[in-house]
Chain A
């Protein structure tokens, strides 16, 4: 689960003076009343990770690299993933309406997200062959890849419903720039021993249904569409989607608060610039049966091979000219936290700016994050200590635990002079000494204007 950090922005979550906290919880308890992002620089997020393996595991100096690759193939399983995620806020802004006390926020960001599951069975088949795996099926379902480049227009609202409850929601319009999706594949290949059969083995392809859907790529490949086309799609794409975020913050008492949010509940409908590839069917092969026709004309051959090929293509057709529409669901994320504030109350004895909520200089808490990936849900838990050093500087240190890393320490620095805010968050800092050994790393930073209440 180390790969989660590429989307898990645990350091920005619950940081109530950063507008980015609204992107992971539209119902976040925020303390500013207006924000304007510096276009293209207000929110930059880059992360990559692989579960179960690091660059060092393969390319370490000394020894035999082939032994290490073989070991890695057997150590990884079909739930291990390789993930790359990048987000760039193109523009963002928000303001508080003094009449209805609703904080409105809007903007546009571009996102690239790639998740590739380790295709265990197919990797073993390619690396080892089938000779040592007789009677063991190789599952096509291990092939699972989802990659997309999108841009997102969004508009959100955030309001304190009562002194205890603040709710928020955000509507999203997705523009798909390019998409590759090959999930939900089915079937298997197996070589069976057949003691009562006509030959040593029976090679079976059972219930194969392997599909790769693409949108936005055909025109790039066939029509040689250029960067202008991509930019056009980022602004207005033919492949549209809709979605929404919801979230809230509940205040139990002057010290304790809890939050929860669901992000990216939505789908993208791919209807244009499509190309699908599909291999499907069931077939068994015992080898080529010779029939010894009574009369053979000199050196001519019986057309066994041609029949063998034709039968295979009939039974397991490969189609590469399909243009079927398809739908991809956005990876839904769930965030939750419980927080305890202590120390100096930044709002003073009389809180007149934030619905009467106490706001402390020090906060400790636990956060939960999970994301719905194509094959399963992944999760991570984070403990943090968040401290405001006056109005000038805010820091947050986090420890995130997952199956593959028990030493993920993250740091956030956020500072503001006058209205100008800069933040920098990065995790896995202990692995910075040698990134080759890191299984994941992510960084988020940005520049923006944030206006405090007068």
Chain B
């Protein structure tokens, strides 16, 4: 064997020795299937402030007053959200100086306007014209999430329960939602 070939053979042997010595141990790449990313996104939802003039008298026997508005929330119907949403927690906070109690009703609707899920709670009246704060939390389970996944609009309605006191004051609503997502199957 020529010296040059001998050198090459020697180095090939060294490289082969390194390769055979080198190994990857104590690892399990199948665990990649178990990887789950679970972010929790905390985001504002809707907000508003209304006064007495905003209420419209309903033609109802108990002479209640209502305000109602609707917005699209297209991210709820987004494929990414629908597939990965695991939990939603809604939080509403209302400051009320009306001396009447109110009902806040947030209705999630599908694209055809059909209600899918409703959050309803009573807003405490003010006793002396100073703000009374009402908080309400709703955490949705799996069955309720299915309703949210098919929703794309949110209608918010406030019903003022009239009494002897004059209808005067201001109401501010703040709301947010914490979306718990889970991604896997990378």
Residues in chain A within 8 A of chain B (CB atoms): 55-56, 59-61, 64-66, 69, 125-132, 134, 191, 198-203, 285-294, 296, 299-302, 304-306, 413, 415-418, 420, 422, 424, 426, 432-436, 445, 447
Interface core residue of A65, A69, A292, A300 (most chain B CB under 10 Å): A292
Interface residues of B in 34-68 (CB under 8 A from A): 34-50, 54, 56, 67-68
- Measured in the bound complex, the distance between the Cα atoms of B26 and A130 in whole Å is 35
A128-B40, A131-B178 as given contacts; A287 in contact with B46, CB under 8 Å: yes
Question: In the complex, what residue of chain A is closest to B157 when comparing beta carbons?
Answer: A292
Contacts of B174 in A (CB 8 A): 198-200
Please tell me if the beta carbons of B47 and A424 are within 8 angstroms of each other in the complex. Answer: no
Contacts of A200 in B (CB 8 A): 44, 91, 93, 174-176
A302-B71, A418-B4, A420-B4 as given contacts; A436 in contact with B27, CB under 8 Å: yes
**A199 is contacted by which of B24, B47, B156 (Cβ under 8 Å)?**
B47
> Shortest CB–CB separation between residue A133 and chain B, in angstroms?
9
**B8 is contacted by which of A203, A422, A426 (Cβ under 8 Å)?**
A422
Question: In the complex, what residue of chain B is closest to A133 when comparing beta carbons?
Answer: B42
> Shortest CB–CB separation between residue B15 and chain A, in angstroms?
7
Contacts of A131 in B (CB 8 A): 39-42, 178
Contacts of B31 in A (CB 8 A): 59, 65
Q: Can you list the 8 inter-chain pairs with the closest CB atoms, starting with the nearest? A: A287-B44, A129-B39, A131-B40, A305-B72, A131-B42, A417-B3, A199-B47, A299-B113
- Measured in the bound complex, the distance between the Cα atoms of B32 and A432 in whole Å is 24
- Measured in the bound complex, the distance between the Cα atoms of B113 and A300 in whole Å is 9
- Measured in the bound complex, the distance between the Cα atoms of B10 and A445 in whole Å is 13
Contacts of B41 in A (CB 8 A): 129-131
Please tell me if the beta carbons of B42 and A201 are within 8 angstroms of each other in the complex. Answer: yes
Residues in chain B within 8 A of chain A (CB atoms): 3-4, 6-8, 10-11, 14-15, 18, 21-29, 31-32, 34-50, 54, 56, 67-74, 91, 93, 109, 113, 153, 156, 172, 174-176, 178-179, 181
Please tell me if the beta carbons of A199 and B26 are within 8 angstroms of each other in the complex. Answer: no
**Main SS of chain A's interface residues?**
mixed
A292-B67, A301-B70 as given contacts; A287 in contact with B45, CB under 8 Å: yes
> Shortest CB–CB separation between residue B38 and chain A, in angstroms?
8
Contacts of A434 in B (CB 8 A): 23-26
Query: Can you give 16 contacting A-B residue pairs, CB < 8 Å?
Result: A60-B27, A65-B32, A200-B175, A201-B44, A286-B44, A287-B43, A287-B44, A289-B46, A290-B47, A292-B69, A296-B70, A302-B70, A305-B71, A422-B11, A435-B23, A445-B15
Please tell me if the beta carbons of B22 and A289 are within 8 angstroms of each other in the complex. Answer: no
- Measured in the bound complex, the distance between the Cα atoms of B14 and A299 in whole Å is 78
> Shortest CB–CB separation between residue B50 and chain A, in angstroms?
6
Please tell me if the beta carbons of B34 and A66 are within 8 angstroms of each other in the complex. Answer: yes
- Measured in the bound complex, the distance between the Cα atoms of B78 and A179 in whole Å is 34
Please tell me if the beta carbons of A420 and B72 are within 8 angstroms of each other in the complex. Answer: no
Please tell me if the beta carbons of B35 and A305 are within 8 angstroms of each other in the complex. Answer: no
Question: In the complex, what residue of chain A is closest to B91 when comparing beta carbons?
Answer: A200
**B48 is contacted by which of A59, A125, A130, A291 (Cβ under 8 Å)?**
A291
Please tell me if the beta carbons of B42 and A198 are within 8 angstroms of each other in the complex. Answer: no
Contacts of B72 in A (CB 8 A): 301, 304-306
A55-B24, A299-B113 as given contacts; A290 in contact with B156, CB under 8 Å: yes
Question: In the complex, what residue of chain B is closest to A191 when comparing beta carbons?
Answer: B42
A69-B35, A287-B175 as given contacts; A413 in contact with B69, CB under 8 Å: no
- Measured in the bound complex, the distance between the Cα atoms of B8 and A292 in whole Å is 84
Question: In the complex, what residue of chain B is closest to A420 when comparing beta carbons?
Answer: B4
A191-B42, A415-B10 as given contacts; A201 in contact with B176, CB under 8 Å: yes
> Shortest CB–CB separation between residue A124 and chain B, in angstroms?
9
Contacts of B109 in A (CB 8 A): 299
Please name 12 further chain A to chain B contacts, defined as beta carbons within 8 Å, in addition to the given A129-B179, A292-B68, sorted by A numbering.
A64-B34, A65-B34, A285-B44, A290-B71, A294-B56, A299-B70, A299-B109, A301-B153, A418-B4, A432-B22, A435-B22, A435-B24
Interface core residue of A200, A201, A306 (most chain B CB under 10 Å): A200
